[in-house]
Amino acid sequence: MAPQNKQIFFYTLFKWLLLVASYAFLAYKLITFKQYPELASEWVKAWSTQLFSLVLVLALLPFNWLLETYKWKFLVRKLETLSLRNAFKSVMIGNTTAFFTPNRLGEFPGRTIGLQKGNKLQGMAIGVLGSLSQTLTIMLFGIPTAWILFFFNKSSLYQTTNYYVLVLIFTSLLCAYFFLPQLCRVLKNKQLFRRIENLMHTLSQFSYADLTGILLLSIVRYVIFCTQFYFLLHFFGIHIEPLFGAIGIAANYLFITFAPSMAFSEGAVRASVAILTIGVFTPNTVGIALTGLFIWLINFVLPMFIGSLFLGRKK
């Protein structure tokens, strides 16, 4: 078998194994889910009284996807020009390849499937940069709100040392984010980095204006998925003040970001974390858990399905 044919064969085999495994894991989680009676009861109640809230959640979904698509298109323009359609496909495929990997690390190589062969390594590095901007956004809003949440509710989870550590991590990541291109400009011609000279060159092309723009896109997207979460709480009959909702939701996303998990099990993690944070303001743990589960289904499992269709058609 010719080398090129071997490469095509193994790529096709990997692609189909990935799709089969994705659906097998999802089926397993659905089969072993034990709270179907509670889910059905809450769903019927919510459907009859709070349908408009669900409509708002779904109406915001395209804006969530569009922002992430545009951010990816904006990031990779340093390598090649992607149409909005192809950028969207890359983002969806990234959701599929992230399904089995710890903390979604498989998303980065998945997104580069649509890039030219020589741009894949640089594409993964750019993907990490984009992901870092979203993590910084979550920390920016999550650290102060988590401090407020646990300090004023005298939670045993509150420890000043923990927040000093989080602030230190945030400051370090923020400096790394904004100074990485400048560092790459200095190091790219050094002998030690010659093997990854192209990667260093790509990262060095980002200006402060570029990085600020990416961060602003991440902030807007963050506001959108937090708003989705708030409307979904309403859908399941949880009515809390917007300020309290903002505190609980921001803290919720902070803990989810740093909780070690596999994407296919993230629904359970999100439900548990949501009870920990939103449960401070309401005793309706079933509604909170369902909100955490459904926001995962809407914002991650649904894109995973769409991405699997694109991946299945990819040659």
- Please, is 309 exposed, middle or buried when counting C-beta atoms within 10 Å of its C-beta (0-12, 13-18, 19+)? middle
Residue 166's pLDDT is what? Answer: 78
Q: What is the pLDDT of residue 135?
A: 92
pTM above 0.85, yes or no: no
Mean pLDDT, to the nearest integer, of 91-119? Answer: 81
Q: How far apart are CA 294 and CA 270, in angstroms?
A: 9
Taking alpha carbons only, the member of 222, 228, 235 closest to residue 290 is 235
Q: Which of 25-34, 107-116, 146-155, 264-273 has the highest mean pLDDT?
A: 107-116
> 143 vs 165, which has greater pLDDT?
143
Mean pLDDT, residues 205-224 taken together: 94
Q: How far is CA 95 from CA 77, 104, 155, in A?
A: 21, 8, 35
Asked if 14 and 314 count as a contact pair (C-beta separation under 8 A), the reply is: no
d(CA 40, CA 214): 40
- In percent, how much of the chain has pLDDT > 90? 27
Task: Point out which residues pair with 102 in neighbouring strands.
Answer: 262
Q: How many CA atoms lie within 13 A of 95 on its CB side?
A: 24
Give the residues across from 262 on adjacent strands.
102
Q: Is the pLDDT of residue 150 over 90?
A: no
